């Protein structure tokens, strides 16, 4: 069963538009961690954020913000005022230490294209 679902395969926006990437996860553990990574065309995965299941506060980092809602098992990511450099594949991932030692379960990724 898919533990992390990123329903949006591709999103295309014009520069300066906001874009929200959805991430829905599935776990039976009460302690778990969620991550977002960015994969630019060069291929390397760049770490963006790590959030534990006990911290439901939303977080903002520059133009990036994250909305964590345990009630709906979602951890959505918004890029405000998008730029061409934001074009990449974005992955959401789940870590469940009690039942899935050391493993990250990745979603299939969402490809974001920002047009000038």
Partner 1 sequence: DGGITQSPKYLFRKEGQNVTLSCEQNLNHDAMYWYRQDPGQGLRLIYYSQIVNDFQKGDIAEGYSVSREKKESFPLTVTSAQKNPTAFYLCASSRGEVRTDTQYFGPGTRLTVL
The answer to the question of residue 101 lying near partner 1 (CB under 8 A) is yes
Q: Report residue 28 as tokens.
A: 């039976």
Smallest distance, partner 1 to C-beta of residue 93, A: 8
Part in contact with partner 1 (CB under 8 A); list of ranges 17-25, 33-41, 62-70, 76-84: 33-41
Q: Report residue 105 as tokens.
A: 């379960």
Report the residue from 19, 25, 36, 37 that binds partner 1 according to the rule CB under 8 A.
37
Q: Which is nearer to partner 1, 36 or 76 (CB)?
A: 36
Q: Which is nearer to partner 1, 64 or 106 (CB)?
A: 106
The answer to the question of residue 88 lying near partner 1 (CB under 8 A) is no
DSSP letters for the chain: --SEE---SEEEEETT--EEE--EE--S-SS-EEEEEEE-TT---EEEEEEETT----EEETTEEEEEEGGGTEEEEEESS--GGG-EEEEEEEE-TTTSTT-EEE---EEEEEE-
Q: Which is nearer to partner 1, 2 or 69 (CB)?
A: 2
Part in contact with partner 1 (CB under 8 A); list of ranges 18-26, 60-68, 72-80, 91-99: 91-99
CA dihedral 60, 88, 96, 8 (to 10 degrees): 90
Give residues in contact with partner 1 (CB under 8 A).
4, 9, 33, 35, 37, 42-47, 50, 52, 91, 93, 95, 97, 101-109
């Amino acid at each position: 069963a898919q533990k992390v679902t990123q329903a949006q395969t591709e999103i295309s926006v014009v520069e300066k538009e906001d874009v929200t990437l959805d991430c829905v996860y599935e776990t039976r553990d009460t302690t778990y961690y969620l991550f977002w990574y960015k994969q630019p065309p060069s291929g390397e995965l760049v770490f963006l954020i790590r959030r534990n299941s006990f911290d439901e506060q939303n977080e903002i980092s520059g133009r990036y913000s994250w909305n964590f809602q345990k009630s709906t098992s979602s951890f959505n990511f918004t890029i405000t005022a998008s730029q061409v450099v934001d074009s990449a594949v974005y992955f959401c991932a789940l870590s469940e230490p009690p039942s899935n030692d050391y493993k990250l379960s990745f979603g299939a990724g969402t490809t974001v294209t920002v047009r000038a």
